């Protein structure tokens, strides 16, 4: 369930307070004498407390968060970064934008990064691995980290699509060297656009903080106009408007996941009788935002899609936006070898239907959908 479904007067009133009580300062830096609060910095503290990390930096988007994270670990031109073929194009774009080369790894039959294929892709140029916790569920993060540690390779968790999910009671995005979140309008909490970088590594946080803000060191004893810098940076800052909305959305995250689970379990309990479906890995807790079933029967797939659209639920990414979520289709960004590396994943995704979980749809709608799908299987 995307967070936009429960935007209400709490977010609206937070924006009004920003204008009425905080003098309408929309910029996250400076203007100390006329502002009352730094909402971006406050949002970062609340995210750190919620996800239990030492450091958090919020930025302008999840895509920006990936790029800033790559910069923080020292990625440079000529490095290779391994990520998976079931993904969103932003991850590959961020890698390319640093001058590094994306190396595409297959996913397994549960749509997580394939560990065995990962092992084949490692070489001396490999700087980092970016597993992606796609559509609300954890990758095999423990196995990936264990392998990466042996090879002395960084791991960045792309957790844009599973904000609030856990593995062994730890939040995804907090387990590897760096984790990134997205708050765009389709995510389970939203600031419209926006993202965050989570880490327990002080050095990575320092570099990220400087890089996202034109290299500013933000020395406390210096006004911003006379601040010093130690690196070239860029502008990936979040605004105060995004931050006040984010703080209200964060309060709703537990409720969102609880509501997702109720609807998800209806589909799981009924459709598991007839279909193979995507299961969460052991010791993980997803955010239950999609239920993915598998079928290679073309006519049956078409009938299922008709049911989903008739009930105004539709699908999420699979199959409606597969060309944006499978590297096989990214010939504008990848060479032929990487496109071929994506072929197995394309085959898995072609047989997948992702049913979105929406709080705007009552639980009975999901019962109705499940029963209608079962009825066409008889």
Active site residues: 187
Could you give phi then psi for residue 197, rounded to 5 degrees? -120, 120
Q: From residue 246, give the alpha-carbon distance in Å to each of 12, 51, 59, 222.
A: 12, 14, 12, 29
Q: From residue 316, give the alpha-carbon distance in Å to each of 134, 227, 352.
A: 11, 45, 11
* SS3 sequence of the chain: CCHHHHCCHHHHHHHHHHHHCCCCCCCCCCCCCCCCCCHHHHHHHHHHHHHCCCEEEEECCHHHHHHHHHHHCCCCCCCEEEEECECCHHHHHHHHHCCCEEEEECECCCCCECHHHHHHHCCCCEEEEECECHHHCCCCHHHHHHHHHHHCCEEEEECCCCCCCEECCEECCCCCCEEEEECECCCCCCCECCEEEEECCHHHHHHHHHHCECCECCCCCCCHHHCCECCCCCECECCHHHHHHHHHHHHCHHHHHHHHHHHHHHHHHHHCCCCEECCCCCCEECCCCEEEEECCCHHHHHHHHHHHHHCCCCCCCCCCCHHHHEHHHCCCCCCHHHHHHCHHHHHHHHCEEEEECCCCCCHHHHHHHHHHHHHCCC
End-to-end CA distance of the chain: 30
Q: Give 65: exposed, middle or buried? Use CB within 10 Å, 0-12, 13-18, 19+.
A: buried
């Amino acid at each position: 369930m995307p967070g936009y479904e429960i935007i209400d007067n709490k977010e609206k009133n937070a924006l009004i307070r920003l204008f009425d009580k905080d003098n309408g300062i929309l910029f996250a830096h400076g203007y100390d004498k006329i502002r009352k609060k730094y909402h971006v910095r406050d949002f970062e503290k609340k995210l750190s407390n919620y996800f239990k990390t030492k450091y958090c930096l919020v930025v302008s988007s999840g895509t920006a968060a990936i790029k800033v994270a790559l910069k923080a670990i020292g990625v440079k031109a000529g490095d290779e970064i391994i990520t998976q073929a079931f993904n969103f194009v932003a991850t590959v774009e961020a890698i390319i934008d640093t001058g590094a080369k994306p190396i595409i790894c297959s996913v397994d039959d549960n749509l997580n990064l394939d560990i065995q294929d990962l092992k084949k892709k490692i070489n001396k140029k490999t700087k980092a691995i970016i597993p992606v916790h796609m559509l609300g569920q954890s990758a095999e993060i423990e196995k990936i980290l264990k392998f990466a540690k042996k090879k002395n390779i960084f791991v960045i968790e792309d957790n844009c699509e599973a904000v609030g999910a856990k593995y062994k009671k730890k939040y995804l995005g907090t387990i590897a060297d760096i984790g990134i979140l997205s708050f765009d309008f389709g995510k389970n909490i939203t600031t419209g656009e926006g993202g965050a970088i989570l880490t327990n590594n002080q050095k990575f946080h320092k570099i990220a903080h400087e890089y996202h803000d034109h290299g500013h060191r933000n020395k406390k004893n210096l006004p911003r106009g006379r601040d010093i810098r130690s690196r070239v940076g860029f502008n990936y800052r979040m605004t105060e408007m995004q931050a006040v909305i984010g703080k209200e959305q964060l309060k709703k995250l537990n409720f969102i996941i609880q509501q997702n689970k109720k609807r998800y379990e209806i589909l799981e309990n009924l459709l598991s009788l007839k279909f193979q479906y995507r299961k969460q890995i052991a010791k993980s807790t997803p955010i239950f935002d999609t239920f993915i079933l598998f079928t290679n029967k073309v006519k049956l797939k078409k009938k299922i899609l008709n049911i989903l659209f008739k009930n105004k639920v539709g699908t999420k990414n699979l199959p409606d936006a597969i060309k944006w979520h499978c590297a096989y289709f990214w010939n504008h960004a990848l060479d032929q070898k990487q496109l071929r590396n994506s072929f197995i994943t394309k085959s898995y995704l072609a047989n997948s239907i992702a049913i979105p979980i929406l709080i705007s749809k009552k639980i009975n709608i999901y019962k109705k959908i499940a029963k209608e799908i079962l009825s066409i299987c008889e």
